[in-house]
Structure 1
């Protein structure tokens, strides 16, 4: 079997386990979105602070890969480097291109609408206008809108009432039900105190108040707090017909499986590299086999927890690294130069965990790429 000498001097022999093949037909028992990464043009100037230049062929091909497994695409989310290298001009084009691709291939798509085109916001009206501009783009593209958390709103809001004012205005005018978004500060420190309080229980109460007032306009809410207990308590208080989409990349198997009171659907960044596993696992749930579901997903948790290790917001580097190893793109490059946001020992551990989880369609090719990276990094083989 193929082996790779790691930075700590140990020799890792690849196990040869590969990812499940795509299943037939859509998923039935859960709605599952993967928040998808973008593929940078490796020959463009994609350094820090530069306008993002994407490899559109590879970016759209990856979305077709997700749809082939029956997953929906959550487009232009933080996994696509919103606020971390992907500017609004590139985001707008991404929403338009991916939505057109979804129509052509019958794929499910939801797109993030935020306020990141603002260079500064001084009033709630500024925030509302920015949201309205982006919602118009998503609406014209025909996608389900995801109302992303707004750094601008977090910076100007004085308390829960300001959040309710902004979201009341937006939900009053949307043309289709939206997915709301609660991204915890571990994913973005600028969102600390979102929904008007640093106390998560109080913040949850404000969000639930908003949903109760606009239940017909809310498809669901994505919860990304990395706290299974809080998510379970939250979903049990949702109005009937409003979905809870787990964004918990640490505890997703138990949350998606659920309990006697209900379950979470999924909108997860970790399902970008784990699309095949997620699809195969949910198909087991579709067949009533919860044990088979957990048998597929539980072994992927160590990989997910390492990918999202602190600082959690740099998980995008791990996601793109795994896409490169799995053959979904030709280069390990990212917009904003974020391929350098994680160190070599982190990437080496990710390589091993991905092999143990059976991520690589071609383990030999993945090993060759890892050796090349370690050689460039100065690791003796």
Structure 2
């Protein structure tokens, strides 16, 4: 939009390095998406953490978390009927949040979920272990076991996350199978297995013992088949809709597929004549009200209405998750700030600097066009503050 400046316009950077006037919304879009969990799909939002902006912490220091605001955001997600996928990569695991901070996050969020009656599942990984010469599979198993015990003791469902340490140590598919066999045999309750692709974390390239995804898929399916009673579901984050559909059609009865595809989620959740995916998505952190509204339409059999709500959100998601995909967290926290869920745009590890001003400005524009902000004037005022800091008179 290139209208002349008015009090309701901002001068936003463009992708080609210029500036243009954008007329933002002045009134919120009326929505009432709060309510019980959807009935037709299990829906988790991976949730971000809120940094303490007053902490004197450098990029290499342990994260200092604003616990009150972090937990308030989880209550926001539960109020819309979404489950919380806690201590996942959206919470900056391995990108600012270390295991000590993640363990505290798991304990606090699980206690809050119990008090609120909210659904929660928590990430189990090995990020307390830094692989060095001499690191063994036994070390990897022990790291997983330590985290599994924390999650189970907190009363949350475990999500067995892909492990950088395992990727570094394992010599092939058989050693992946051995580690997962060991963990699944001892888990108290069924877990969610998470296959996170290298676009989210380059250290996970060749996971399941082979860079060829077809071969890796066979190893993954073999582990699931051998322990189907201990696998509630799988979360697939490969950004390949066709591969996810093919994989979910081969799952044993009773094992769910949770899409982690932030590019193609509407079609995967809607499903086809052969089935559908549930959801465990980082993009549902900023999209919680719209996600809840959309999935409740599926509860009534209104697939067309579901797509009408959710399809328009895909350009925003694809923008936030563009390469390098692992920095999508910056856009997620940015939108939480604009939406009024936190009072600042500061991230653990200083990750607020990981995306450019034009990238953030385009995210703002797409979110505003969706009517995503509860208070568009607040969002515009905060966007104006960011522009000013960058030397743009808005």
TM more than 0.5: yes
1:351 pairs with 360, 364, 373, which one?
Answer: 364
* Contact 2:190/2:231, CA 8 A, preserved across alignment: yes
1:3 aligns with 2:9: yes
1:232 is aligned to: 245
The answer for the alignment partner of 1:70 in structure 2 is: 81
Residue in 1 aligned with 2:131?
120
Map Cα deviations across residues 281-326 of structure 1 (whole Å, 9 max, x no partner).
0000001100110010001000000000110000000000000000
TM superposition shift of 1:331: 0.4
1:137 aligns with 2:135: no
Query: Is 1:317 equivalent to 2:356 in the alignment?
Result: no
Deviation sequence 1:20-56 (CA, Å, 0-9, x none): 3233322100000000000000111343111000000
Paired with 1:242 and 1:144, the residues of 2 have a C-alpha distance of 15
Conservation of the 8 A alpha-carbon contact between 2:59 and 2:348: yes
Q: When the two structures are superposed, what TM-score results if normalisation uses the length of structure 1?
A: 0.99
What do the CA deviations read for 1:89-138 (whole angstroms, capped 9, x no partner)? 11110000000000000000000010000133510000000000000000
- Equivalent residues, number: 381
Q: Secondary structure at the match of 1:24?
A: coil
Deviations 1:144-179 (A, max 9, x none): 000000000000011000100000000010000000
Q: Are the counterparts in 2 of residues 307 and 319 from structure 1 also a CA contact under 8 Å?
A: yes
Q: How many angstroms does 1:183 deviate by?
A: 0.3
Q: Indicate the residue corresponding to 1:13 in structure 2.
A: 23
Matched, 1:32 2:43: yes
Q: Within 5 Å, give how 1:185-224 maps onto structure 2.
A: 185-224=198-237
Aligned 8 A contact 2:266 2:311 in 1: yes
Residue 271 of structure 1, CA deviation: 0.2
CA distance in 2, matches of 1:19, 1:369: 21
- 1:361 counterpart = 2:374: yes
Contact 1:256 1:264 (C-alpha < 8 Å) held by counterparts? yes
The answer to whether the aligner puts 1:23 opposite 2:34 as a matched pair is yes
Indicate if the aligned counterparts of 1:18 and 1:362 stay in contact, CA closer than 8 A.
Answer: no
**Equivalent residues in 2 for 1:284-295, closer than 5 Å:** 284-295=297-308
Structure 1 residue 4 displacement after superposition: 1.0
Unaligned runs of 5+ residues in structure 2 are: 1-6
Question: Over the residues paired in the alignment, what is the CA RMSD in angstroms?
Answer: 1.0
Question: Which residue pairs with 1:105 in the alignment?
Answer: 116
Aligned-partner Cα distance in 1 for 2:277–2:84 = 17
CA distance in 1, matches of 2:382, 2:150: 38
Question: Structure 2 CA distance, aligned partners of 1:92 and 1:124?
Answer: 22
Change (3 A) 1:19 1:245: farther
The yes-or-no answer on 1:150 pairing with 2:160 is no
Deviation of 1:380 (Å): 2.6
Conserved 8 A contact 2:33-2:290: no
Deviations 1:193-235 (A, max 9, x none): 0001101111111000000000000000000000100000000
Choose the corresponding residue for 2:286, options 273, 298, 316.
273
Deviation at 1:14, TM superposition (A): 1.4
CA contact (8 A) 2:131 2:168 kept: no
Residues 186 and 311 in structure 1, CA contact (< 8 A), matched pair in contact too? yes
- Unaligned runs of 5+ residues in structure 1 are none
Q: In 2, Cα distance between the equivalents of 1:24 and 1:88?
A: 33
Deviates more, 1:17-26 or 1:28-37: 17-26
Which of residues 195, 206, 211 in structure 2 aligns to 1:182? 195
Contact kept in structure 2, 1:113 and 1:147, CA below 8 Å: yes
Q: Is the 8 A contact 1:19 1:277 kept in 2?
A: no
- Indicate if the aligned counterparts of 1:19 and 1:359 stay in contact, CA closer than 8 A: no
Give, in whole Å, the separation in 1 of the partners of 2:76 and 2:49.
13
Deviation at 1:17, TM superposition (A): 4.8
Q: Distance in 2 between matches of 1:47 and 1:228?
A: 39
Q: Scaled by the length of structure 2, what TM-score is found? A: 0.95
